[in-house]
Amino acid sequence: MTQATSAARTSHVAAPDHSKANKAIGRRNLRNGLIFIAPNFIGFLILILIPVVQLFYIGFSKWSAFGDPKFNGLTNWVRLTHDSNFQAAFVNTIVYSVVHIPLTLAIAFGLAVLLNTNLKGRAFFRTVAFFPYITSIVAAAQVWNMLFDAKSGVINQIIRFFTGGAWAPGWMGDTKWAMVAVIIVATWREVGYFMILILAGLQTIPGELYEAASIDGANGWQQFWKITVPCMRPTLFFVLVTLTIQSFKILDLTLVMTNGGPGTSTLMLAQYIYQVAFNRQDFGYSGTVSLVLFALCMIVTLIQFWYNNKKEK
Amino acid sequence: MRKVSPLFKAAAFAGAAVMLLAGCGSSNNASGGKTEALDENAKTTITFAGWSLDTTPEFQTLADGFMKDHPNITVKIKQYSADDYDTQLTSDISGKSQPDVFPIKNLQKYYTYAAESGGLADLSDIAASYDGDKNIDVSQYKLEDGKYYAMPYRQDSWVLFYNKDMFEKAGVSAPDGTWTWDDYTKAAEELKEKLPAAGYDAKSVYPMYQHGWQSVVQGFALSQTDGAYDDYFKGDYSYLKPYYERALKWQKEGLTIDWNTVNSTKVQYQAQFGTQKAAMLPMGTWYAATLVSQQKSGDADTFNWGMAPIPQNPDAATSDTPVTFADPTGLAVSSNISGQQLAAAKEFVKWASGEKGSEALAKIATTPAYFSDSVADTYFGTDGMANDDLSKKAWTDHKTNPENPVGAGTNTIQDVLNTVVHSGIMSGTSSIDDAIAKGTQDIKDQGVLQ
Amino acid sequence: MTAASITPVAGAKSPSADIPFNKKPVSPVKVVGTVIGYVAMIAVAAFTLLPFVWMLLASVKPNNEVFMVPFKWLPSVWHFENYINIWTKSDMLLWVGNTVFFAICVTFLQVFTGSFAAYGFSRIKFAGRNTLFLVYIATMAVPWQSYMIPQFKMLSSWGLVDTRWSIILLQAFGAFGVFMMKQFYDTIPEELSEAARLDGLSEFGIYSRIVLPLSGPSIAALGIITFTNTWNDYMGPLIYLRATNLQTIQLGLKTFISQFNADYAMIMTGSVLSILPILVVFLIGQKQFIEGIATSGMKG
């Protein structure tokens, strides 16, 4: 409803017949807008945007981090086409994200809705859910590796109980199952983080809306679908975009848990970017891979934007 | 059309900014010229990088010793991370904010720093002062242009640590200094059989502990195979094969913990050897000091141990001097400084790499690069150190080849040999031949071979 | 029309909207269901906390037992004195102090500038708004490790490396806070500010009197997350800080790792201690979450 109102206002502003008044409104809006944005934008422009933009040059250069990058056209991009590690990392990152994003979103949303009720002890459960995010990643990797141990791990003991002892996955030592393990741990780790964001969104919905709906005789489910879901659209959109970008950029978890292995089975783009830059001192090529990762994120994000706008109109 | 426009504008904006920035990089070459003579009376302060200062006393030891000899020079230590030192140093040099004196941790990145960064000062005059001195070898820092950009202050080497008590109780003959890797395997098999009878838990105690690092296999293969250093830059890595065959055999026979476990559970070699879970451990001489202090603190059990020369390549001609490997740890000077500061920084490097620095290091049981008899006496005189003749021989008498050959592309080759070859073979995800073939291809694709 | 006016309404509603499974009249089936539900949740919670429990136990182990093979939960000797020794063996107090300073500065700047800018993006229709917003989001899609060297060179040329400013400037202006707050403001019905606009309130008045009071939970969430991320950040301080008196907690804990050895028991001790401030912030932030609004569909 928010967007509908503002969209109506925009079209009104853009109408040609009130051009003078509109110009004044436009100027006032521009001035007000810039005043609000300035404190953040100045810092953002100088400290983040300028370095980021340089990447678009570095990705087309040869650079060892020392001195200035030397433009080398498409050389780096040609290298991408026959770099099997890059290709493995590309596929791994997509596989990881395709499973991790919906899984995390669904669990985090369910958890947030549950912990937004009058459930007794909800403050405790919220804190518990946030704990994986603040637990030392080294400790987390250690315990999960123990749980996933192919021979003696608790997880495989349970699986063997159901398969009659015949079969259990090899997890960390197996090129196919290592990714599954990584996804499980990543989801465990991040659910609480996104739950907090969703919870904040749920809390921002004004209570009056529910009150009015109750008076109109809407039951819980109707309220959920008619109020909670539409009001949550901006928040869910934000969570989805952030989750998507974070998933594509996953680095520290696999670095500590598997270091990309076994083989290249859990090597992710972000780790490859780091490795090529800082281990091989090849910042130019690393920049090229970063641009691929950037393009990947942006394509998905723009689709999400487009879909979100379409839904809102 | 309306939908596209913000994106288009964003792209245009980005493009404009690129143009703006591409032109404004600054280039400022390393300061050349002569070094002023050091004026002992001038008050000078130099900064010095060290990692994990609380747990690594060597940096403070060097700074204190030097300041005592040169009262007007102040050495100010900056704290770096031991794990991510190269990441920090790369940023520093890139931003021209490197400290005046800084360690070069190993040879893997030395070439990049020395030949490509322009951030290191020429130390050839210090190298010249060591001409004809048999106690120190600085040749590993010599570049193609004949110049030196770092001086070694620490030179560890890989030896075989062994638990004398475990060998004795099991009734297996201990290393005698003539072992090849085949003898090592035989001893391990014998230990495997006899240790349980000697009262050691068969499930958790192993004859040997092979740590997960690439150097544990590749360092020996490279240093003990004839011609391997040439093959390394030519892209022929077949010299690795026999060493990997042995490593896999040990793993398969249960002579050591398997690599996947080592890798995923962060097994500490100090814990394995220190709590008598392994009878033999190939490791760098730096471990001796740790073991001594852990036995004192109770982190390690109390037992008799010794160092033996590292086992030799069974397929190569034997020589009297055992061949082992390890990179020196060096000190470099920033190219951003000049005048008295540069003179003081160079004096510090000279002091630290020379006999006085070595004595100070040997006192804290750190293996220095300058190896005189009195340094050896100081080292073995430290409390709790193994001091049988074989240990002394292992520590002093060996030919130490570099772990990382110095040349353009070392970074990349070493990284591929680690991530593709070592992890591929040891995790069991690819065969030795496949992994070596894939690694070779990857290295060729990076365009770094000579 | 402030948060204060919403809370009582919600509060008044809460008695009738009790836990989903627990509505009157109580039937035995529901009681059993509630019990099973709670047992399941507590089991999941315990499982979730397992790595933390290991961390606690590792912090009182002898160092060589931390990564023991085969895996062991309990220490052979309990070294509770680790929690005392860490304050004397290291500069823990200094690290905590520095980190608190950074986390508070960054959180304040991020929340303040972020929510301010978000209002501009959410509520004021100005030319180029969407483009600019897209640029913000786009920077989030670039991995930091790929532009940190250019950024470092820039800050280095201004002489800010190895100063407190570097960390604060580095972290305070990220796109995350702007994006997050903008989306939350979009949730607040436009009608509220429209009415105020007709009453002659300026944009700043609308922001401070209407929108801001309604965004307590989202500011709390942004605060918690920014604080946690700054607190736990390792790479930022790693790249920018060298002086021993500027070390942060994550950087400091790494000094227990030397080139060939590591004191993992101490690292775990420090990690346990470093969770406490985050928990405090989390609990304070959570207080902002309005208690008792029944927005759930589960009671249908």
Query: How many Cβ atoms from other residues are within 10 Å of residue C124's Cβ?
Result: 22
Beta strand B323-325 pairing with B399-401 = parallel
Pick the CATH number of B158-324+404-445 from 1.10.1060.10, 3.90.1150.10, 3.40.190.10, 3.30.360.10: 3.40.190.10
**The residue type at A201:** G
Residue with tokens 């130099």: B46
**Residue B332 near chain A (CB below 8 Å):** no
Mean pLDDT for chain A overall: 86
pLDDT at residue B327 greater than cutoff 90: yes
Alpha carbon separation from C206 to C114, C123, C209 (Å, rounded): 17, 10, 5
Residue B384 region by backbone torsions, left for phi larger than 0, else alpha for psi between -120 and 50, else beta: left
Q: Point out the least confidently predicted range of A98-102, A116-120, B198-202, C214-218.
A: A116-120
**Residue B99 near chain C (CB below 8 Å):** yes
Task: Answer for the pair C173, A78: CB distance below 8 angstroms, yes or no.
Answer: no
**Residue C112 near chain A (CB below 8 Å):** yes
pLDDT band (50, 70, 90) for residue C291? low
What are the boundaries of each domain within chain B?
A: 44-156+327-371, 158-324+404-445
**Residue C239 near chain B (CB below 8 Å):** yes
Q: Do B264 and A309 touch (CB under 8 A)?
A: no
Closest CA relative to residue B440, chosen from B410, B420, B411, B424: B420
* Mean pLDDT, rounded, for B169-189: 95
Position B23 scores a pLDDT of 38
Cα separation, A119 vs A127, whole angstroms: 14
Position C296 scores a pLDDT of 35
Position C288 scores a pLDDT of 80
Nearest CB among C68, C90, C258 relative to B271 is that of C68
Which 3 state secondary structure label does DSSP give B158?
Answer: strand
Residues 169-198 of A with CB under 8 A from C: 188, 193, 196-197
Q: Do C242 and B88 touch (CB under 8 A)?
A: yes
* Mean pLDDT, rounded, for B85-95: 94
Residue with tokens 């970063």: A290
Two structure tokens written together for C147: 């532009």
Q: Give per-residue pLDDT as tens, C104-130.
A: 999 999 999 999 999 999 988 888 898
Cβ-Cβ contacts under 8 Å, C267 against chain A = 136, 138
Q: Do C180 and A238 touch (CB under 8 A)?
A: yes
Alpha carbon separation from A27 to A13, B386, C118, C120, C124 (Å, rounded): 12, 82, 19, 14, 11
Residue with tokens 């009058």: A118
Q: Do B116 and A64 touch (CB under 8 A)?
A: yes
Q: Give per-residue pLDDT as tens, B105-150.
A: 999 999 999 998 999 999 999 999 999 898 999 999 999 899 999 9
Q: Establish if A64 belongs to a structural domain.
A: no
ipTM over 0.90: no
Residue in chain B nearest C253 by alpha carbon: B52
Residues A12 and A138 reside in one and the same domain: no
Q: Do A301 and C189 touch (CB under 8 A)?
A: no
Residue in chain A nearest C207 by alpha carbon: A36
CB pairs under 8 A between A and B: 108
Bridge-partner residues for B73, per DSSP? B44
Residue in chain B nearest A70 by alpha carbon: B22
Cα separation, B50 vs B154, whole angstroms: 13
Nearest CB among C71, C131, C254 relative to B81 is that of C254
pLDDT band (50, 70, 90) for residue A142? confident
Cα separation, A48 vs A42, whole angstroms: 10
Q: Point out the least confidently predicted range of A140-144, A284-288, A296-300, B288-292.
A: A140-144
**Residue B412 near chain A (CB below 8 Å):** yes
Closest CA relative to residue B438, chosen from B114, B428, B422, B448: B422
Two structure tokens written together for C233: 């950040």
Bridge-partner residues for A258, per DSSP? none
Cα separation, C228 vs A248, whole angstroms: 21
Neighbours of chain B (3+ CB pairs under 8 A): A, C
Cα separation, A305 vs A298, whole angstroms: 10
Q: Do C242 and B287 touch (CB under 8 A)?
A: no
Residue in chain C nearest A189 by alpha carbon: C48
Q: Establish if A68 belongs to a structural domain.
A: no
Q: Do A278 and B86 touch (CB under 8 A)?
A: yes
All residues at 6 or more sequence positions from B77 whose CB lies less than 8 Å from its CB, including other chains: B47, B48, B49, B50, B53, B59, B60, B63, C244
Q: How many CA atoms lie within 13 A of C195 on its CB side?
A: 8
Two structure tokens written together for C77: 């000797």
Cβ-Cβ contacts under 8 Å, B264 against chain A = 141, 145, 172, 257-258
Residue in chain C nearest A213 by alpha carbon: C295
Cβ-Cβ contacts under 8 Å, A281 against chain B = 90, 109, 112, 116, 411-412
Task: Answer for the pair B387, B380: CB distance below 8 angstroms, yes or no.
Answer: yes
pLDDT at residue A24 greater than cutoff 50: yes
pLDDT at residue C162 greater than cutoff 80: yes
Q: Which of A29, A37, A205, A288 to mutate to test the interface with C (most CBs of C within 10 A)?
A: A37
Mean pLDDT for chain B overall: 89
Residues A34 and A88 reside in one and the same domain: no
Domain of residue A120, residue span: 83-312
Q: C-alpha angle C143/C146/C147, rounded to 5°? A: 100
For A288-291, the CB contacts below 8 A with 24+ separation are: A288/A59, A288/A60, A288/A76, A288/A77, A288/A79, A288/A80, A289/A80, A289/A86, A289/A89, A290/A55, A290/A59, A290/C142, A290/C143, A290/C146, A290/C147, A291/A55, A291/A56, A291/A59
Strand boundaries in B135-209, DSSP class E: 151-155, 158-163, 206-208
- In chain A, how many domains are there? 2
Cα separation, B261 vs B280, whole angstroms: 18
Distance from CA of A97 to the nearest CA of B (A): 23
Cα separation, A117 vs C41, whole angstroms: 15
Position B180 scores a pLDDT of 94
Position C24 scores a pLDDT of 52
Residues A90 and A50 reside in one and the same domain: no
Give the burial class of B132: count Cβ atoms within 10 A of its Cβ; 0-12 exposed, 13-18 middle, 19 or more buried: exposed
Residues A253 and A108 reside in one and the same domain: yes
Cβ-Cβ contacts under 8 Å, B25 against chain A = 68-69
Q: Give per-residue pLDDT as tens, A46-89.
A: 999 999 999 999 999 999 999 899 999 899 999 999 888 899 99
Which 3 state secondary structure label does DSSP give B279?
Answer: strand
Q: How many CA atoms lie within 13 A of A9 on its CB side?
A: 16
Position B260 scores a pLDDT of 85
Residues A119 and A18 reside in one and the same domain: no
Cα separation, C270 vs C260, whole angstroms: 20
**Residue A33 near chain C (CB below 8 Å):** yes
Cβ-Cβ contacts under 8 Å, C286 against chain A = 123, 126-127
Task: Answer for the pair B92, B109: CB distance below 8 angstroms, yes or no.
Answer: no
Nearest CB among A53, A142, A259 relative to B265 is that of A142
Residues A48 and A100 reside in one and the same domain: no
All residues at 6 or more sequence positions from C4 whose CB lies less than 8 Å from its CB, including other chains: C213
Distance from CA of A223 to the nearest CA of C (A): 7
**Residue A221 near chain B (CB below 8 Å):** no
**Residue A61 near chain B (CB below 8 Å):** no
Which 3 state secondary structure label does DSSP give B16?
Answer: helix
Q: Do A145 and B265 touch (CB under 8 A)?
A: yes
Beta strand B206-208 pairing with B278-284 = parallel
**Residue B413 near chain A (CB below 8 Å):** no
Residue in chain B nearest C90 by alpha carbon: B54
All residues at 6 or more sequence positions from A293 whose CB lies less than 8 Å from its CB, including other chains: A93, A248, A249, A269, A270, A273, C141, C143
Cα separation, A21 vs A13, whole angstroms: 9
Distance from CA of A124 to the nearest CA of B (A): 31
Residues 37-96 of A with CB under 8 A from C: 37-41, 43-44, 47-52, 54-55, 58, 65
Which 3 state secondary structure label does DSSP give B330?
Answer: strand
Residues A112 and A32 reside in one and the same domain: no
pLDDT at residue C3 greater than cutoff 70: no
All residues at 6 or more sequence positions from B21 whose CB lies less than 8 Å from its CB, including other chains: A50, A53, A54, A57
Mean pLDDT for chain C overall: 83
**Residue B18 near chain C (CB below 8 Å):** no
Pick the CATH number of C90-255 from 2.40.240.10, 2.30.30.60, 1.10.3720.10, 2.60.120.10: 1.10.3720.10
Residue B152 region by backbone torsions, left for phi larger than 0, else alpha for psi between -120 and 50, else beta: beta
What are the boundaries of each domain within chain C?
A: 90-255
% of chain B residues with pLDDT over 90: 70
pLDDT at residue A14 greater than cutoff 70: no
Nearest CB among A6, A50, A196 relative to C224 is that of A196
Q: Which of B47, B79, B211 to mutate to test the interface with C (most CBs of C within 10 A)?
A: B79
Residue with tokens 């065969």: B431
Residues A161 and A228 reside in one and the same domain: yes
Bridge-partner residues for B161, per DSSP? B281, B307
Q: Establish if A73 belongs to a structural domain.
A: no
Task: Answer for the pair C79, C145: CB distance below 8 angstroms, yes or no.
Answer: no
Helix axes A177-204, C175-187, angle to 10 degrees: 50
Residues A302 and A157 reside in one and the same domain: yes
Q: Is the peptide bond before B322 cis (omega within 30 degrees of 0)?
A: no
State the sign of the Cα–Cα–Cα–Cα dihedral C82, C87, C92, C96: positive
Closest CA relative to residue C219, chosen from C177, C188, C187: C177
pLDDT at residue A15 greater than cutoff 70: no
Cα separation, C275 vs A131, whole angstroms: 9
Q: How many CA atoms lie within 13 A of A249 on its CB side?
A: 20
**Residue A306 near chain B (CB below 8 Å):** yes
Residues A179 and A248 reside in one and the same domain: yes
All residues at 6 or more sequence positions from A208 whose CB lies less than 8 Å from its CB, including other chains: C6, C9
**Residue B287 near chain C (CB below 8 Å):** yes
Cα separation, A190 vs A12, whole angstroms: 43
Distance from CA of A278 to the nearest CA of B (A): 6
Position A145 scores a pLDDT of 86
Cα separation, C144 vs C235, whole angstroms: 10
Cα separation, A221 vs B221, whole angstroms: 69
Which 3 state secondary structure label does DSSP give C255?
Answer: coil
Distance from CA of B448 to the nearest CA of A (A): 11
Q: Give per-residue pLDDT as tens, B225-267.
A: 999 999 999 999 999 999 999 999 999 999 999 898 888 778 8
Neighbours of chain C (3+ CB pairs under 8 A): A, B
CATH of domain B44-156+327-371: 3.40.190.10
Residues A88 and A129 reside in one and the same domain: yes
Nearest CB among C67, C130, C254 relative to B268 is that of C67
**Residue A2 near chain C (CB below 8 Å):** yes
**Residue C251 near chain B (CB below 8 Å):** yes
Cβ-Cβ contacts under 8 Å, B411 against chain A = 279-282
Q: Establish if A44 belongs to a structural domain.
A: yes
